[in-house]
Amino acid sequence: MPGRRRSGDLLHLAASPDRAGPDRPPAPGHLNSSRRKKTMNPHVITAMPVPFTTTGALDLPAYRRAVTAVDPHVDGVLVAGTTGEFPALDDDERLELFAATRDLIGPERTIAHLGHASTRQVIRLARATVDLGLRRSALITPYYLPTDPAGVVDFYREVLDAVPGLELFVYLFPERTGLDVSPSVLTEILALPGIVGVKLSGAASETVADYAGVLRSGQLLYSGNDATLPDVMAAGGHGVVSGVSSLFPTVFAALSAALCEGRGHDRIQSQAAELVALTGANIRFLKAGLAARDGGDWASRMSLPTPNSETVNQIHDAVASFT
């Protein structure tokens, strides 16, 4: 299997045994459109679920075990995103998770999700996050109350103006937010100083090429569709933000390495697709596997579908096979 990632700038990764080659995505300001069309080093960013006890308490020891398990295999961790049940977390809990991830894998590989419904809440959390030494961050669009394109652009502008130094990924998830941000509107957001890329989830991830076409020099595009890494790269993207990689990091690392090295990847891609089909976007399905692999309750705070016993057994079998 691929070897350990080296710590370092997520946007300018140093060469490592499983990331060799001249076409590693460079830092912002050095990636032009012609270079994006080449075969790039595919990034795998883990969207980490957050474990709770059966009484609803945050289980930091279980979280640390899970981050430690993926550390050798992935390029970074997205903390407290959708897969992390961020609406159910208090800000102090999010900051605890940010700090724990930073301590385990370093600040350059930690992406702190700052999502809230209002700029006031986002700015408060963003300032506290920067105080932890973390600048890499993601921010989902406003949600619940509707807004117009100008309101979306202003949302990001106000946050970046209030918290200088943020390195922010725009996070689009139309099914969860009620906002469908078009490539033309994204173009305006990407022009703001401090925006380093975009993460596409749900329906937005089905049109990667359209969004990749409006990236500025040095900006990155990640898809939240775990099963489509080869397609994302072919469409001009740079990798995936994968919840399933929290449970099966070696499979996604192997797929990324095969793509990077130009080796046949059909078998590995098939394995990844099967694992995504098994655990999918369902957080409790992932947590059933994480509890088996790492220990802990891995309960959820939010109301989510629960896998039946047959599915749990299949997940446990997959964990035994791939970990």
Longest dimension (CA), the chain: 53
Terminus-to-terminus CA distance in the chain, angstroms? 11
Active site residues: 171, 199
DSSP 160-213: HHHSTT-EEEEEE-HHHHS----HHHHHHHHTSTTEEEEEE-GGGGGGHHHHHT
C-alpha to C-alpha distance for 14 and 106, rounded to whole angstroms: 14
Number of H helices and E strands in the chain, helices first, is: 13, 8
C-alpha to C-alpha distance for 60 and 298, rounded to whole angstroms: 11
DSSP state of 58: B
Instruction: Find out whether 48 and 79 touch, Cβ atoms under 8 Å.
Output: yes
Return the bridge partners of 169, or none: 138, 197
Tokens 């989830």 belong to residue: 201
Q: How far is CA 136 from CA 77, 247, 321, in A?
A: 11, 23, 34
C-alpha to C-alpha distance for 39 and 28, rounded to whole angstroms: 18
Q: What angle do CA 93, 95, 100 make, to 5 degrees?
A: 95
Q: For residue 291, give the nearest of 3, 9, 71, 69 by alpha carbon.
A: 69
Structure tokens at 125: 């959390």
C-alpha to C-alpha distance for 218 and 226, rounded to whole angstroms: 23
DSSP state of 1: -
